Chain A
């Protein structure tokens, strides 16, 4: 199993280097306003409070990091979609379950590493800016949300191959976007007020914790659901692996 996870690191070496560069740039981006001493200038230019500016800046960095890692993780399956390799690993003592578990383990390791990186940079940012933001809460939620998305997506990839599995993304994401659009166009959004009111509410939540009591039960449930879903998804993918091999190109 450890060997298979090591194989993932070797095969994804180039992508990992690119990811490292992207995260390096994100980290530099995070500290850029402090290094150039422009926090006050920039927050003044955008007419926002210093704390709000830092939170906004850190949120953008965390969210960009999440998008990059989630997009990368979905591409790690293509390299193994080969009937010879699939036949070999299925007949080895590790079986197809070992292959599936290694993929899940690799994705989990990568997500945990990115989260740890984010945590450390956020802590350094707090020391540098002398301002703590709620960005880490967002990072934790995105980490578990990422696991949940993968838990839903990976069984499709194992059953129908990476091309077939992408149908999940192609269907699921537009469905969510259309649902939001329909709600915005025809639903009752008076409770949200204008975009400015929503942003105000977001910053008050992140900086002062205002309205946290509404979100906390959801935040509490997401980790439990994600962990269980990820484990169940891994088990299901193991069941689907042999059937999925039939869909690979020879």
Chain B
């Protein structure tokens, strides 16, 4: 009972700190009227990604928890396959989402971008960005250190794996709220609410995928690589499969279609993690 109360207290402190450290700077630049995707916005977004990591460290210090189980070791032995899979994963579900869009809307290799670009250049560029993301993975590590290495294991100990992944995903989704508000400036309230709901749904699925890699390797690095590659590459992955006008005219449907492979994968891995966790408890 004492342990549970302590865990709840730590979780509350962590969540409050993570939201404050990341969203206050974002809110300030919003008030200052800084344009989305300006240099300053990019810099602040980069810093805010480290908010959950700082929050987890501060919580450990405040509650005198210590610095065990931070998942900072690479644990490469026997886990290289997970590292490779983590790097390939965004490319796999990106292509799957693109294929779904092509099947419905057509337009394979008909994007305007391909008027000035060869397929070789496009492929090279995607690979280069993957290399870029691996080298500069630390902002994603900032998030993983907080969400996957700190919050998820604590929530699992309180409510079991499936509930922890769902509620953790919603919290993670809501943490992005100002980012969503920024991207929805000038749109209706209903659209904003829908985007927030979609963000939470995708965060539940992505959270399950990232938790899978973190749990399998007991390391935050594969999830950090996956997270960073996903952030930098995912929109690029759909370029060969759809025309620009498809994205403009069917924005919401396009978004939902591209989410489907991630949702399937996320639900699959969530079930797998739940079964393994139940077996672990029974064993």
Contacts and interface: CB of A to CB of B under 8 A. Distances in A.
Contacts of A2: 73
Interface string B37-60: 001101100100000000000000
Contact of B39 (A132, A140, A216, A220): A132
Contacts of B131: 140, 144, 219-220, 222-224
B138 interface: yes
A115 B124 contact: no
Contacts of B46: 120, 123
A139 B118 CA distance: 26
Contact of B121 (A1, A123, A213): A213
A213 B123 CA distance: 11
Q: Please report whether the interface of chain A is mostly helix, strand, loop or mixed according to DSSP.
A: helix
Q: Is the interface of B mostly helix, strand, loop or mixed?
A: helix
Interface in B108-164: 117-118, 120-121, 123-128, 130-132, 134-136, 138
A109 B39 CA distance: 27
Given A126-B39, A132-B39, A219 B73 contact: no
A221 B128 CA distance: 8
B135 A112 contact: yes
Given A219-B124, A223-B128, A127 B43 contact: yes
B42 A217 contact: no
Chain B interface extent, by class: 20 to 34
Contact of A143 (B43, B128, B135): B135
Contacts of B135: 112, 115, 140, 143-144, 223
A62 B130 CA distance: 21
A180 interface: no
A220 B123 contact: yes
B71 to A, nearest CB: 13
Interface string A201-227: 000000000000100110111111001
Given A115-B136, A116-B136, A144-B135, A216 B43 contact: no
B118 A130 contact: no
A123 B118 contact: no
A124 interface: yes
B124 A217 contact: yes
A174 to B, nearest CB: 29
B86 to A, nearest CB: 13
A223 B125 contact: no
Identify the interface centre among B118, B125, B132, B135: most chain A CB within 10 Å of its CB: B135
Contacts of A112: 135, 138
Contacts of A223: 127-128, 130-132, 134-135
A132 B131 CA distance: 20
Contacts of A213: 117-118, 121
A147 to B, nearest CB: 9
B130 to A, nearest CB: 7
A119 interface: yes
Given A1-B73, A216-B124, 17 more contacts: A2-B73, A115-B136, A116-B138, A123-B39, A123-B42, A123-B46, A126-B43, A127-B40, A132-B39, A213-B121, A216-B121, A216-B128, A217-B124, A219-B124, A220-B126, A220-B128, A223-B128
Interface of B: 39-40, 42-43, 46, 73, 117-118, 120-121, 123-128, 130-132, 134-136, 138
Closest 3 CB pairs of A and B: A223-B131, A220-B127, A220-B124
Interface of A: 1-2, 112, 115-116, 119-120, 123-124, 126-127, 130, 132, 140, 143-144, 213, 216-217, 219-224, 227
25 contacts: A1-B73, A112-B135, A115-B136, A116-B138, A119-B136, A124-B43, A127-B39, A127-B40, A140-B131, A144-B135, A216-B121, A216-B124, A216-B128, A217-B121, A217-B124, A219-B124, A219-B128, A219-B131, A220-B123, A220-B124, A220-B126, A220-B128, A221-B127, A223-B127, A223-B130
